[in-house]
Structure 1
């Protein structure tokens, strides 16, 4: 009885692990893209190299750009506790530049998709 279920369960476990690994790779790639855009926009990378900074990093939502009041302005932060163990920090100008860069990337990706899709406006014969 046990032998009858061993192969299907092993196959299911293998498929699940491959799927989860693929999701993790996509997530890692997306966070790397985000970090590259943040750095290009002027955000500075602050490593969690002390116990206090590590606690602050652990308290922040991972892989999410957040804003907080700092002094008389707003500060934006992006925490990466898994890969670089750091926080990207920037101000309003850096955030505006980050938005511009991501908008440009989105437009470029949409243009590529439109030109690669044979069923857009004119169909494959156009």
Structure 2
């Protein structure tokens, strides 16, 4: 009896561990997709993709805030930078007009995603769930 209990506990522990790892993998996939979407929108807005050509520039790339857009300046000129050392190993750089275009594209993308989600929810709500019978305790 004791061996069986230990076996079940071990099996349950392994299942919980594998589910946790799958959840982490799903989060990484979602983050990678979000990064790709951001980089696609930056490119579409006219941001220039710049790759470091020297070890010094590679070190500077690593030191920049990663995967977020920030404002920088060179002399009197202001520009916007997005660094992705782990992904593309590059930065995206653009001016004020390109940043504004990026914001507009990002808003359009978000609106389209929300509309697609709402359409999917409406489709699910319209389904005739009556055929499934009365909901049991597992439904709540």
Normalising by the residue count of structure 1, what TM-score does the alignment of the two structures yield?
0.84
Output the aligned Cα RMSD.
2.4
Deviation above 4 Å: which 4+ runs of structure 1?
none
Aligned residues: 122
Matches within 5 A, 1:28-107: 28-107=32-111
Name stretches of at least 5 consecutive residues in structure 1 with no aligned partner: none
Higher helix share: 2
Q: 1:52-81: CA deviations, max 9, x gaps?
A: 111111111211111122221211111111
Paired with 1:45 and 1:118, the residues of 2 have a C-alpha distance of 40
SS at match of 2:49: strand
Matches within 5 A, 1:106-117: 106-117=110-121
Paired with 2:115 and 2:18, the residues of 1 have a C-alpha distance of 37
Paired with 1:24 and 1:44, the residues of 2 have a C-alpha distance of 26
Normalising by the residue count of structure 2, what TM-score does the alignment of the two structures yield?
0.76
